[in-house]
Structure 1
Amino acid sequence: MDPLIIVYIVVALVAGLIAGKLVFAKNTQQKIDEAEGNAKNILKEAELKAETIRKEKELEAKERFVSLKAAHEKEVNERNRKISDSENRIKQKEQSLSQKEANADKQVKENDAIKENLNRQIELVNKKRTELEKHQEEHIRRLEKIAGLSAEEAKTQLVESLKNEAQTQAIGIQQEIIDEAKQKANKEARKIIIQTIQRTAAEQAIENSITVFNLESDEVKGQIIGREGRNIRALEAATGVDLIVDDTPEAILLSCFDPLRREIARLSLQRLVTDGRIHPARIEEVVEKTRKQIEEQVMEIGERTVIDLGIHGLHKELVRMVGRMRYRSSYGQNLLMHSRETANLCAIMAAELGLNPKLAKRAGLLHDIGKVPDEESELSHALLGAKLAEKYGENPAVVNAIAAHHDETEMQYVISPIVQACDAISGARPGARREIMQQYLQRIKDLENLATSYPGVEKAYAIQAGRELRVIVESDKVSDQDSDKLSFEIAQKIQTEMTFPGQIKVTVIREKRAVNVAR
């Protein structure tokens, strides 16, 4: 290539670069000018805003100054008012003190005058006393001369006479007070006892010596008896309860004087019947598990009872014995219900008499604790209960109340007669303790009354301990066909309206008698 052309090309390139730089410089200058214009506009706007803010702040400062000034003036005025009030009170006090001082000076002057007057009166009284003593001595000498006795002898006789008369009157007054106190005490005691009984809601007795275990069918009885009676013998040996399997449909009787054993036998029998596996080894296993479960329930019952009554700090062994009361009865009355009832009665009566209700409630709950010992003892339940309470750290008043509630020891504390009275109240109320003979007689009477309520019945007799009812009808009012119908109707009515063990046979007797007398 020609060097000249190359030179031209280079010159053209350089010229293009210079022209581009010039254009770039021109554009840059324009942008700078625009930026300077924007900056000036922003600066002017900022100055305007700053001026506006300054004026607003000045206005706020003036307003705040005015409000502070007004508050300060108000506070100064309030202080001035208080100072003025204080000055007025001080002036009033000064005036009052001045007046009191003037009155005190006046009173002192009056007291001085009264004192002088009293001194003159005292001098006059002393003179008259001296004259009176002289006259009295003269009078005594004359009396001694007339009576032939000295003053000391006469005084001694008079004192002795007055003493005898006072003793006689005092004895009469004392007897009247004692009689009146006895009447009031008896009246008040009856009132307290009645109020105590009325404020206690008690449950009726439900305990007896027999528990009925219901079965789904009579087929289960054979499994319970077992081959040659081995199952029933094992169950009786393990529980100590007699099982009576008779002709009572779908039921087995559990007979035992101890409710705890009956409950263990009932629960064990229920588990065995539910499980279906009934044999001696299984019976012993189930009875043992049930016994442990009952022991846990006993502790739970004792704790719940103590919590319900609000008794604290009771030893665990005593709590367990309280729980065992649930499965013990006395004359048909549940022992735990009796003890709870006695505890509530004691608390109410102690509160009425102004004594410690918590201590009385504690003694009432534990008064029959000797009836549920772990081991048999020759002591009575009252003395044994006191021994157990003393062993487990009970209050001496509680121990004495337990020991003395049947008068086996002397009562040393006030709550002891309260516990004795409440025990008697709980046991003596109607329905508390079951009388089996009365119930039996009532059932016999109900049977006979039911039969005699039918027309044409002349007499009715319940025989064989109430298992047979013989009804004698009038032959002229009831026919042979009516006798069959009457027997059926009486049996149906007994079945629907009465509760009875086993079955009752109804026999209707109709006879025609011809009676003549030879004379």
Structure 2
Amino acid sequence: MDQNVIYIIISLVSIAIGIIAGKFIFAKDTKKQVAEAESQAQKIISEAELKAETTKKEKILEAKEKFVQLKSEHDKEVLDRNRKISDAENRIKQKEISINQKEASLEKQVKDNEAIKENLNRQIEVVNHKRTELEKHQEEHIRRLEKIAGLTADEAKAQLVESLKNEAQTQALALQQEIIEDARQKANKEARKIIIQSIQRTAAEQTIENTVTVFNLESDEIKGQIIGREGRNIRAIEASTGVDLIVDDTPEAIILSSFDPLRREIARLSLQRLVADGRIHPARIEEVVEKTRKQLEEQVMEIGERTVIELGIHGLHKELVRIVGKMRFRSSYGQNLLMHSRETANLCGIMAAELGLNVKLAKRAGLLHDIGKVPDEETELSHALLGAKLAEKYGENPAVVNAIGAHHDEMEMQYVISPIIQACDAISGARPGARREIMQQYIQRIKDLETLAISYPGVEKAYAIQAGRELRVIVEADKVGDSDSDKLSFEIAQKIQTEMTYPGQIKVTVIREKRAVNVAR
């Protein structure tokens, strides 16, 4: 019997007993009540037993159904497991059949390979035998050829290699010469095109600076005031300005003579103020000259600032701006230095634009390339090296510094814009009307340069180019070697330096060229 049923029956019995006991306690005095209680208890017990029996039967039915269900599931699992085992056995049998077939096939292949190997070995033996016979025939053939030609195989091979080598060198030299010539023609054509375009797009002034300035007077009476008693006024003016005053018979004019245009301008402005004021004496002269000098310094800064603004150059150090302004009062071979620098800057900008380079950097270098010609103090450095030093001191771009120092080949060119600055400087200085020199002196100097070079043994021709700033010396290759060329260049440069008078510097280039010319007919 199920424990739950028993528990229920016991609970009911306990309840009945309790009820009966209770009733018995409260009604013990009557037997009737006791009998009724016993009857009710008996009835309750009967009902409880009946209910317990019913519950028992239900539980037994449920257990049977559960058992049938579990048995069915177990049978199903057994069937599935048997089916899987059967499938696995079938697969194993198929694999065994496949393995047996492959094993039989491999055994057959091994037998076939052994047959092929034997066949190949027989063929290799035949080939080795034929090769041995061929080598014997080849050796016999070579001996016959050597006997006929009178040369060994190594000698014949060496002659053939040498012949092919000479022929290849000849063809390579011809091809190299064609390529070089073609490249030279294209480069010259393109360079001429760029230079012509740059020059055509630049409008240059045809003015030349003089070393004297004429100061006009209202009357000749003022000459006496300027000279002063015993010449004290004119001496004071000359001492304060560093300019020579030439008072001659020229009516209503005084000539101011000085190689420095800045000094001449100070003297001219000072005289203009003194004459307008009327008070001319040494103390007043010194006062006016000093005031004029200060005002001219301010004007120099204004000229420099206006120049850099017009050229579109920004971020220039104030000291470099002042030096640019001072260029207005300097000249080179009679050419105004500021005009020359501006012209060079414009040419550099145009040429850089044609070549696809940095236009602003090129214009900057072109403007500053001659700043070494207006130093504040004397120095033994050339103007190109001094200019590079100043540019580096005031924080300029290394490319600009190199272009300034290398525009006369005194430094090695390290940037692309350096040769552009050199070319534009030469264009600006060599154009007609740019600089002044007496024609006879110029021609004589050119002749003297060429004559001096030709006087050396082994020199075939000599040409003075770039307005006499470079001497090209062509020597005979058979008489002058490479080491002799260096020595000859040095000796000619030393002789020019000691025996001739010339402006600026002269570069001596010795060219030694070996030419092989043949004519095909």
Q: Which residue of 1 aligns with 2:193?
A: 191
Given that 1:205 and 1:434 are in contact with CA atoms closer than 8 Å, whether structure 2 keeps it comes out as no
The one-character-per-residue Cα deviations of 1:231-260 (angstroms, maximum 9, x if unpaired) are 111111110001111000000000000000
Please report how far the alpha carbon of residue 438 of structure 1 lies from its aligned counterpart in structure 2 after TM superposition. Answer: 7.2
1:171-186 map, 5 Å: 171-186=173-188
Q: Which residue of 1 aligns with 2:329?
A: 327
Distance of 1:351 and 1:329 partners within structure 2: 29
Please report how far the alpha carbon of residue 331 of structure 1 lies from its aligned counterpart in structure 2 after TM superposition. Answer: 0.9
Please report how far the alpha carbon of residue 139 of structure 1 lies from its aligned counterpart in structure 2 after TM superposition. Answer: 11
Distance of 1:408 and 1:141 partners within structure 2: 73
Q: Please tell me whether residue 217 in structure 1 is matched to residue 215 in structure 2.
A: no
Distance of 1:274 and 1:418 partners within structure 2: 49
Q: Which residue of 1 aligns with 2:346?
A: 344
Given that 1:196 and 1:349 are in contact with CA atoms closer than 8 Å, whether structure 2 keeps it comes out as yes
Please report how far the alpha carbon of residue 172 of structure 1 lies from its aligned counterpart in structure 2 after TM superposition. Answer: 3.2
Q: Secondary structure at the match of 2:254?
A: strand
The one-character-per-residue Cα deviations of 1:383-415 (angstroms, maximum 9, x if unpaired) are 100110111111111111111111212222221
Q: Which amino acid aligns with 2:340?
A: H
Given that 1:241 and 1:255 are in contact with CA atoms closer than 8 Å, whether structure 2 keeps it comes out as yes
Please report how far the alpha carbon of residue 354 of structure 1 lies from its aligned counterpart in structure 2 after TM superposition. Answer: 2.1
1:91-240 map, 5 Å: 147-148=138-139, 169-240=171-242
Distance of 1:137 and 1:328 partners within structure 2: 95
The unaligned stretches of length 5 or more in structure 1 are: 1-133, 440-519
Q: Secondary structure at the match of 1:394?
A: coil
Q: Secondary structure at the match of 2:214?
A: strand
1:454-465 map, 5 Å: none
The one-character-per-residue Cα deviations of 1:310-349 (angstroms, maximum 9, x if unpaired) are 1111111111100000000011100000000011111111
The one-character-per-residue Cα deviations of 1:260-314 (angstroms, maximum 9, x if unpaired) are 0000000000001011111111111110110000000101111111111111111
Out of 225, 241, 244, the residue aligned to residue 242 of structure 1 is 244
Please report how far the alpha carbon of residue 171 of structure 1 lies from its aligned counterpart in structure 2 after TM superposition. Answer: 4.1
Q: Secondary structure at the match of 1:271?
A: helix
Q: Which residue of 1 aligns with 2:273?
A: 271
Q: Secondary structure at the match of 1:248?
A: coil
Superposition TM-score, scaled by structure 2 size: 0.54
**CA spacing shift, 1:377–1:164, aligned 2, 3 Å:** same
Distance of 1:437 and 1:231 partners within structure 2: 40
Q: Which amino acid aligns with 1:265?
A: A
**CA spacing shift, 1:356–1:242, aligned 2, 3 Å:** same
Deviates more, 1:323-332 or 1:175-184: 175-184
Q: Which amino acid aligns with 1:285?
A: E
**CA spacing shift, 1:268–1:162, aligned 2, 3 Å:** same
Q: Secondary structure at the match of 2:405?
A: helix
Distance of 2:132 and 2:183 partners within structure 1: 50
Q: Which amino acid aligns with 1:270?
A: Q
Q: Which residue of 1 aligns with 2:382?
A: 380
Please report how far the alpha carbon of residue 205 of structure 1 lies from its aligned counterpart in structure 2 after TM superposition. Answer: 2.2
Q: Which residue of 1 aligns with 2:300?
A: 298
Q: Secondary structure at the match of 2:375?
A: coil
Q: Secondary structure at the match of 2:356?
A: coil
Please report how far the alpha carbon of residue 145 of structure 1 lies from its aligned counterpart in structure 2 after TM superposition. Answer: 6.7
**CA spacing shift, 1:170–1:252, aligned 2, 3 Å:** same
Superposition TM-score, scaled by structure 1 size: 0.54
Q: How many residues align?
A: 301
Please report how far the alpha carbon of residue 377 of structure 1 lies from its aligned counterpart in structure 2 after TM superposition. Answer: 0.5
Q: Aligned-pair RMSD on alpha carbons?
A: 3.0
Q: Which residue of 2 aligns with 1:399?
A: 401
The unaligned stretches of length 5 or more in structure 2 are: 1-123, 143-153, 442-521
Q: Which residue of 2 aligns with 1:427?
A: 429
Distance of 1:160 and 1:360 partners within structure 2: 53
Q: Which residue of 1 aligns with 2:318?
A: 316
**CA spacing shift, 1:239–1:172, aligned 2, 3 Å:** same
Please report how far the alpha carbon of residue 206 of structure 1 lies from its aligned counterpart in structure 2 after TM superposition. Answer: 3.1
Q: Please tell me whether residue 289 in structure 1 is matched to residue 285 in structure 2.
A: no
Please report how far the alpha carbon of residue 169 of structure 1 lies from its aligned counterpart in structure 2 after TM superposition. Answer: 3.9
Out of 366, 377, 383, the residue aligned to residue 368 of structure 2 is 366
Q: Which amino acid aligns with 2:273?
A: R
Please report how far the alpha carbon of residue 143 of structure 1 lies from its aligned counterpart in structure 2 after TM superposition. Answer: 7.4
Distance of 1:139 and 1:291 partners within structure 2: 109
Q: Secondary structure at the match of 1:413?
A: coil
Q: Secondary structure at the match of 1:434?
A: coil
Q: Which amino acid aligns with 1:418?
A: I
1:9-28 map, 5 Å: none
Distance of 1:238 and 1:288 partners within structure 2: 8
Q: Secondary structure at the match of 1:314?
A: coil
Distance of 2:395 and 2:188 partners within structure 1: 35
Distance of 1:220 and 1:319 partners within structure 2: 39
**CA spacing shift, 1:436–1:255, aligned 2, 3 Å:** farther
Q: Which residue of 1 aligns with 2:418?
A: 416
**CA spacing shift, 1:383–1:428, aligned 2, 3 Å:** same
Q: Which amino acid aligns with 1:193?
A: I
Please report how far the alpha carbon of residue 170 of structure 1 lies from its aligned counterpart in structure 2 after TM superposition. Answer: 4.0
